[in-house]
């Protein structure tokens, strides 16, 4: 994994200055200095203390790592309009609804339960921190591009799992084995009937051997599909547990910067899964914008008024 780009000294100082407790203390100290009647002495001391605080905090490796992760997430996030909403919010939501409608009921319910758990754990985390202003839980660190990325990977894995299972159910391995056995018998019978010097020029023999190669290829495809199905099932369980762990961290970690770093690190660990999903695009139908992560936690995923699309079992 490539090293994360540094946010830079200016960004570190800016984040340190804008920290809410720093602004509160700085404002209170300044006001107290002014009303004390000794502002000429107190204000320079306050300014010196502020400079010491800013340079000290901005130089801490842990603080820099947190700001680097936040900057990295912002860079990878969707472009924002002046109103603070994603530019392509409607198309992204339509894409989400399209995927959800194409899933079977059990897979759709599994995804919606996981998403609802994220929202509920966010509400609990807000309550633990004593923050009741955001009743929807939409305003804290869990609503990050990294968590949206995990949920998007999980959703696409569900679609891959459905497509692979449909392929395995449609494939008739017993029929393929019977065909291959029959072709081998015919090939042996034809070979025994021909002189050795005529074999390379025999059209029937070439046709039988080509059919045998095709049957073997179909068996290989079935074997690969089973391997993919097993991998997808394992990844679904793994990422579901990762998302559950991330949402539970919000309760035990009071430092949002630390949590943000951990969420980003977990999201970066799904690169291999995303590569597999791209390889399966031909059977899942998710192409083109598969790597563009839509906003999932903020999206309205109500399906009741949407036209139902045929579901592939």
Which residues lie below 8 Å from residue 149, measured CB to CB, with a gap of 6+? 267, 270, 293
Four-residue CA torsion sign, 260, 142, 113, 307:
negative
Distance CA(155)–CA(162), nearest Å, equals 11
Interval 45-64: pLDDT, tens: 888 888 888 888 778 887 77
Q: Write down the pTM of the prediction.
A: 0.57
Distance CA(11)–CA(25), nearest Å, equals 21
Residue 199 pLDDT more than 50?
yes
**Residue of 305, 264, 296 lying closest to 156 (CA atoms):** 296
Distance CA(234)–CA(266), nearest Å, equals 16
Residue 40, phi then psi, degrees to nearest 5: -65, -25
What the block records as the tokens of 238 is: 């793994």
Distance CA(58)–CA(54), nearest Å, equals 6
pLDDT band at 78 (very low <50, low <70, confident <90, very high): very low
Which residues lie below 8 Å from residue 187, measured CB to CB, with a gap of 6+? 205, 208, 209, 212
Whether 140 and 249 have beta carbons less than 8 Å apart is answered as: no
How many other CB atoms are there within 10 angstroms of residue 210's CB atom? Answer: 11
What the block records as the tokens of 215 is: 């049957």
Distance CA(185)–CA(191), nearest Å, equals 10
Residue 260, phi then psi, degrees to nearest 5: -60, -40
Lowest-confidence segment of 103-107, 110-114, 201-205, 245-249 by average pLDDT: 245-249
Four-residue CA torsion sign, 89, 90, 92, 96:
positive
Interval 276-291: pLDDT, tens: 777 776 555 555 444 5
Lowest-confidence segment of 100-109, 233-242, 258-267, 299-308 by average pLDDT: 299-308
The percent of residues in the chain predicted with pLDDT above 70, rounded, is 70
Every domain of the chain and the residues it spans: 1-76, 88-173+223-313, 174-216
Taking residues 173-188, report their average pLDDT: 93
Interval 114-135: pLDDT, tens: 888 887 776 776 666 665 554 4
Position 244 scores a pLDDT of: 83
Residue 210 pLDDT more than 90?
yes
What the block records as the tokens of 91 is: 């198309």
Residue 80, phi then psi, degrees to nearest 5: -110, 145
Beta bridge partners of 80: 86
Position 253 scores a pLDDT of: 58
C-alpha separations of 95 from 57, 106, 229, 287, 306 in Å: 42, 20, 24, 11, 13
Distance CA(143)–CA(104), nearest Å, equals 27
**What is the rounded average pLDDT for all residues in the chain?**
75
């Amino acid at each position: 994994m490539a090293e994360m780009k540094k946010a830079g000294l200016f960004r570190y100082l800016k984040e340190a200055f804008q920290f809410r407790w720093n602004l509160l203390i700085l404002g209170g100290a300044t006001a107290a200095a002014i009303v004390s009647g000794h502002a000429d002495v107190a204000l320079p001391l306050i300014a010196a203390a502020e400079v010491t605080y800013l340079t000290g905090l901005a130089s801490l490796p842990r603080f820099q790592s947190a700001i680097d992760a936040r900057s990295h997430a912002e860079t990878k996030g969707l472009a924002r309009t002046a109103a603070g909403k994603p530019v392509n919010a409607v198309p992204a939501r339509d894409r989400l609804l399209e995927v959800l409608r194409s899933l079977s009921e059990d897979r759709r319910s599994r995804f919606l339960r996981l998403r609802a758990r994220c929202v509920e754990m966010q509400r609990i985390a807000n309550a633990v921190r004593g923050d009741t202003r955001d009743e929807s839980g939409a305003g804290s660190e869990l609503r990050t591009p990294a968590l949206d990325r995990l949920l998007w990977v999980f959703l696409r894995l569900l679609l891959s799992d459905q497509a692979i299972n449909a392929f395995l159910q449609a494939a008739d391995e017993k029929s393929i084995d019977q065909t291959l056995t029959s072709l081998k018998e015919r090939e042996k019978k034809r070979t025994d009937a021909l002189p050795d010097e005529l074999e390379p020029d025999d059209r029937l023999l070439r046709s039988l051997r080509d059919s045998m190669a095709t049957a073997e290829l179909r068996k290989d495809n079935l074997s690969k599909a089973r391997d993919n199905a097993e991998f997808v099932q394992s990844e679904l369980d793994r990422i579901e547990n990762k998302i559950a762990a991330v949402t539970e961290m919000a309760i035990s970690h009071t430092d949002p910067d630390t949590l943000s770093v951990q969420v980003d690190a977990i999201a970066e660990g799904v690169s291999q899964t995303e590569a597999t999903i791209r390889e399966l695009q031909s059977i899942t139908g998710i192409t083109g914008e598969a790597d563009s992560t839509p906003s999932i936690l903020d999206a309205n995923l109500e399906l009741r008024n949407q036209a139902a699309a045929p579901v592939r079992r």
